[in-house]
Amino acid sequence: MTSSQTAGLAARIERWPIAGAFTISRGSKTEAVTVMAEVSHGGHTGRGECVPYPRYGETPEATLAAVLTMQDALRNGLSREALQRALPPGAARNALDCALLDLEARVRGERAWDLLGRPAPRACTTAFTISLGTAEAMAAATARAASRPLLKIKLGGEGDAERIAAVRKEAPESELIVDANESWTAANLEHNLAACAAVGVTLVEQPLPAGQDAALARIRRAVAVCADESVHDRASLEGLRERYDAINIKLDKAGGLTEALAMADAAQALGFEIMVGSMVGTSLSMAPAMLLTPQARFVDLDGPLLLTGDREHGLRYDGSTVYPPDPALWG
């Protein structure tokens, strides 16, 4: 564990083992590496967790350093609003944004959603992820999770039609969404979408690489398509209207709950359906994202279910039902 601390701000890198491995088209990992920020004032401490993502050029060490650049500003009373201008969207801003909101809620003795004037989150169904593998391996993993109502299937390009057919055979009653993580091409796009439509997939997430997704506007999309890597904050929404039907809002991409909530409002105004997603992290990463669930058609907050252990006072999961955070955890 790496840590550093100043007056009012503590931040550290933490490592959380994954049960087995988490595999997508870009590779496999056996631990979730997170950065936690703690902001203290007047005897209260607010916490926020982020998951740096190499896809966006982030490392845990650089993210920790970026968080710590805010120590003087925090001592001088940095607000959440000012934080949006002080750091760009990304993991570091997310950790601090959520920590500041948690602190504000504790100082005021209110729940975060009341403080923000947002609907209180309720228990909801989260997707459960099936990692990328051979069709046979994914079928076996699906069989073990077939009682779950919503499954998110990681795909990887070549052989995806066989993978999704094998998965559906093992989970005939589950709603399926798939995530290609940018692994398809314009050449196989329609074939793979048709294979998904044939087994009743509800949503396909980020089939083509970000910046190379123009083909989505030229075809009849047999299944609704959701932007992930192609969308980060509000500034990226307008250019996606002809290509995507939904967007995946993740706090680590948006740079915190403050921007994510504004982004959800803007996306709904543009006619997008909303998925609230996350990287693989602990309940402290998932808890702030629960405030987005009243606006979401799809919820993908299963990170703690993929770990060998979670934080104290972690979110309560009953099968695939996830409950709002206890104030001892966040907000």
pLDDT band at 28 (very low <50, low <70, confident <90, very high): confident
- Assign 62 to helix, strand or coil: helix
Whole-angstrom CA distances from 326 to 37, 42, 112, 304 are 19, 22, 11, 15
Instruction: Check if 250 is active-site.
Output: yes
Give the percent of the chain with pLDDT over 90. Answer: 92
What is the rounded average pLDDT of the residues 298-312?
Answer: 96
Cβ density class 92-117: b for 16+ within 10 Å, e for less: bbbbbbbbbbbbbbbeeeebbbeebe
Fold of the 2-116 domain: Enolase-like; domain 1 (3.30.390)
Q: What is d(CA 105, CA 58) in angstroms, rounded to the nearest whole number?
A: 29
Count of all residues that appear for the chain in the document = 331
Residue 21 reports pLDDT greater than 90: no
What is the rounded average pLDDT of the residues 16-26?
Answer: 84
Q: What is d(CA 252, CA 228) in angstroms, rounded to the nearest whole number?
A: 12
Give the percent of the chain with pLDDT over 70. Answer: 98
Q: What are phi and psi of 20, to 5 degrees?
A: 85, -125
Q: What is d(CA 228, CA 80) in angstroms, rounded to the nearest whole number?
A: 25
Confidence (pLDDT) at 263 = 97
Q: ∠ CA 178-183-185 to the nearest 5 degrees?
A: 110
Q: Which tokens belong to 85?
A: 């201008």
Specify the DSSP element, H or E, that contains 162.
helix 160-170
- Assign 28 to helix, strand or coil: strand
What is the rounded average pLDDT of the residues 271-286?
Answer: 97
Specify the DSSP element, H or E, that contains 24.
strand 9-24
Question: Which residue, among 252, 244, 226, 269, has the nearest Cα to 88 in the 3D structure?
Answer: 252
pLDDT band at 157 (very low <50, low <70, confident <90, very high): confident
pLDDT band at 5 (very low <50, low <70, confident <90, very high): very low
Cβ density class 157-193: b for 16+ within 10 Å, e for less: beebbebbebbbebbeebbbbbbbbbbbeeebbeebb
Confidence (pLDDT) at 3 = 42
Question: What's the pTM?
Answer: 0.94
Q: For residue range 35-93, list pLDDT tens digits in order.
A: 999 999 999 999 999 999 999 999 999 999 999 999 999 999 999 999 999 999 999 99
Q: Where are the domains of the chain?
A: 2-116, 124-322
Confidence (pLDDT) at 239 = 87
Domain 124-322 falls under CATH 1.10.287.890? no
Instruction: Check if 253 is active-site.
Output: no
Q: Which tokens belong to 325?
A: 């955070």
Question: Which residue, among 248, 254, 252, 250, has the nearest Cα to 274 in the 3D structure?
Answer: 248
For strands 321-322 and 317-318, give the pairing. Answer: antiparallel
Contact 37, 11 (CB under 8 A): yes
Q: ∠ CA 253-176-56 to the nearest 5 degrees?
A: 20
Q: For residue range 189-244, list pLDDT tens digits in order.
A: 999 999 999 999 999 999 999 999 999 999 999 999 999 999 999 998 988 999 99
Listed in order, strand segments (DSSP E) in 158-264 are 175-179, 203-205, 224-227, 246-250
Q: What is d(CA 60, CA 65) in angstroms, rounded to the nearest whole number?
A: 9
Confidence (pLDDT) at 1 = 36
